A and B are shown apart, each in its own frame.
Chain A
Amino acid sequence: MNTRSAPEQALLELEWIVRALAQAYEVQRTLFPAFVCVADELALEFEERSQKLEGCPELILSATQSAKLTALDDALAAMSGSAHADLWTDEALSQSAEWECVRSLAAEFASSMQWPAGAPSPTADIYVGPDA
């Protein structure tokens, strides 16, 4: 049973996605099953988890940490939407300068949070899949 507090849980979830964002493409693709659009999933997970963090006012980041988190979020926001559809493919995730920038910003934020630089553990997500 999960006994963590909401802020602790939110922070753990954010750590997972930020570390995932900081990884090379070859690592990132192993973190998700093949049916998802990995680039999209990285951004969507970040969106969800960072919002969860906002729901924990008791969790206070330092000014530096907040600035780095904001920079990471801003970078993803600037890339988002149908106008930038070319950035949401496996090819772009592996080769584009934009995604390299995201990796760099994610690594900086992870470092400021003193999170490990390595890849996060695979998730324990449940996949309700094909009929048996």
Chain B
Amino acid sequence: MNLYLYCRAGPVTYVDPDGMEAADPGKRFRVGLTKAALGAFRFVPHVDAAIEEFDRQNQIESHAPIDAIKSAPESLASLRDADAESGGVLRTLAISAPAVVAVVAAHAATQKLVGDVVDEAAKVRTAGSIDDAVKHTTAAASRAVVLAGIVEGVKSAPEALQAAKNAPAAVKNAVRSASELVDAVKGLGKFTFKLDEPLISEAELGADLAWFHRQAEELGDAVEASQARATPPKPAATSITAAAILSDPASLWGRSAREIAEALNAEGLQARVRQSTRGSGRAEVIDIQGHGTLQQIRVHPGGGRHGGAYVNISTSTQGKIKVVDPKTYVPLAGEKARIVPKP
């Protein structure tokens, strides 16, 4: 007869506190613990501001679970001591509190996992880039997720502990030790651990990591927002007007055809953007009406022998003015173009 049928013969995985239904309690805590792992970013000095912003937006009050993970080895060691001190009574109790035995039995394995989490967190501290920080935090999180709910099952321990109150003094002492450990381990963010395989399937872990990555992306956005706030605003670009174009053609550099046309339309001219109908079709043409001098502007992405974009301005009085990409323009020997340096 299998004594663990009440929890699908999986006492390490499932708990059944009310006798109605076996449940995997670790699931409820994975998200929380992953968020806690995200707190490892705190070790990256230059994203502190972003972390605060991220915490504020996500109403993350504390990163205590990470601290608890750091102290987990000691907590687990004390559990082993308690078990020894109780002469094995604790193990006996654990039969009716499956999660406790899971903690004891999984001690060595969880110690390694906890060590890995701490190591990865340390690597986050010395990460040279956000990418590295994300990589190590992800590694920490994946292990933390495996550990998630270590003694979530211990939530069922109170029942066992309640029963133990009626036990002899020696047992009570052991229970007290165990109870203290239960509290300590609860602080870890709960582990659920099975000796031979993680309780979380790869698919579940993948889903958790995907969630984590989304959080990391949000963190990245928060970093950018934080940096944007720290960066003084750029001075307003020179406004585009027909007069400005003629007096300083180079002011068009970097402007899109649509941007130029909108500015000219706002000035009261009629500027219409269209794709060129002759040629490669890559040039955008702005036909301008209502201005005596300015007739057409072409914005070309480039493609000549030297490459580089250029803007062609057709006027009725100055002929054609071509604004050349300063980075790519290399005059040929004997070139006929007349270069007018930007003022």
Q: Which residues of A are interface residues toward B (Cβ below 8 A)?
A: 2, 30-44, 46-48, 52, 73, 76-77, 80-82, 84-85, 88-90, 122-132
Tell whether, in the assembled complex, residue B322 and residue A124 are in contact, meaning their CB atoms are under 8 Å apart: no
Contact of A132 among B296, B323, B342 (CB under 8 A): B342
Note all chain A residues with C-beta closer than 8 A to B283.
40, 44
Tell whether, in the assembled complex, residue B338 and residue A39 are in contact, meaning their CB atoms are under 8 Å apart: no
Asked whether B250 is an interface residue with its Cβ less than 8 Å from the other chain, the reply is yes
Note all chain A residues with C-beta closer than 8 A to B295.
52
Q: Tell me whether A34 and B330 are in contact in the complex, defined as CB-CB below 8 angstroms, given that A127-B338, A129-B340 are known contacts.
A: yes
For this complex, 6 residue pairs linking A to B, each with C-beta atoms less than 8 Å apart, are A33-B322, A35-B307, A43-B276, A76-B278, A126-B340, A130-B329
Tell whether, in the assembled complex, residue A36 and residue B340 are in contact, meaning their CB atoms are under 8 Å apart: no
Q: Mark B322-343, 1 if CB is under 8 A from A, else 0.
A: 1111101111100111111110
Tell whether, in the assembled complex, residue A35 and residue B329 are in contact, meaning their CB atoms are under 8 Å apart: yes
Contact of B250 among A35, A81, A85, A128 (CB under 8 A): A128
Q: How long is the Cα–Cα vector from A128 to B312 in the complex, in angstroms?
A: 10
Q: Which residues of B are interface residues toward A (Cβ below 8 A)?
A: 249-250, 276-283, 285, 295-296, 298, 300, 302-308, 310, 312, 314, 316-326, 328-332, 335-342
Nearest-neighbour CB distance to chain B for A79, whole angstroms, equals 8
Nearest-neighbour CB distance to chain A for B297, whole angstroms, equals 11
Note all chain B residues with C-beta closer than 8 A to A125.
319-322, 337-338
Q: Tell me whether A44 and B341 are in contact in the complex, defined as CB-CB below 8 angstroms, given that A35-B304, A35-B310, A128-B323 are known contacts.
A: no
Q: How long is the Cα–Cα vector from A118 to B295 in the complex, in angstroms?
A: 29
Q: In this complex, what residue of B is CB-closest to A129? A: B339
Tell whether, in the assembled complex, residue A48 and residue B342 are in contact, meaning their CB atoms are under 8 Å apart: no
Contact of A35 among B314, B320, B325 (CB under 8 A): B325
Note all chain A residues with C-beta closer than 8 A to B341.
128-132
Nearest-neighbour CB distance to chain B for A39, whole angstroms, equals 7
Tell whether, in the assembled complex, residue A48 and residue B303 are in contact, meaning their CB atoms are under 8 Å apart: no
Tell whether, in the assembled complex, residue B279 and residue A44 are in contact, meaning their CB atoms are under 8 Å apart: yes
Tell whether, in the assembled complex, residue B306 and residue A35 are in contact, meaning their CB atoms are under 8 Å apart: yes
Query: 16 new A-B pairs (CB below 8 Å) besides A35-B305, A43-B279, A82-B281?
Result: A34-B330, A36-B322, A40-B280, A43-B276, A44-B283, A46-B278, A47-B285, A48-B314, A80-B276, A82-B282, A84-B280, A90-B305, A123-B336, A125-B338, A126-B340, A128-B342
Note all chain A residues with C-beta closer than 8 A to B337.
33, 125, 127, 129
Tell whether, in the assembled complex, residue B250 and residue A80 are in contact, meaning their CB atoms are under 8 Å apart: no
Q: How long is the Cα–Cα vector from A37 to B310 in the complex, in angstroms?
A: 10
Nearest-neighbour CB distance to chain A for B248, whole angstroms, equals 9
Tell whether, in the assembled complex, residue A40 and residue B300 are in contact, meaning their CB atoms are under 8 Å apart: yes
Q: In this complex, what residue of B is CB-closest to A42? A: B279
Q: In this complex, what residue of A is CB-closest to B335? A: A33
Note all chain B residues with C-beta closer than 8 A to A43.
276, 278-280
Q: Which 7 A-B pairs give the minimum distances between C-beta atoms?
A: A43-B279, A132-B341, A88-B280, A47-B278, A37-B303, A33-B337, A129-B339
Nearest-neighbour CB distance to chain A for B273, whole angstroms, equals 15
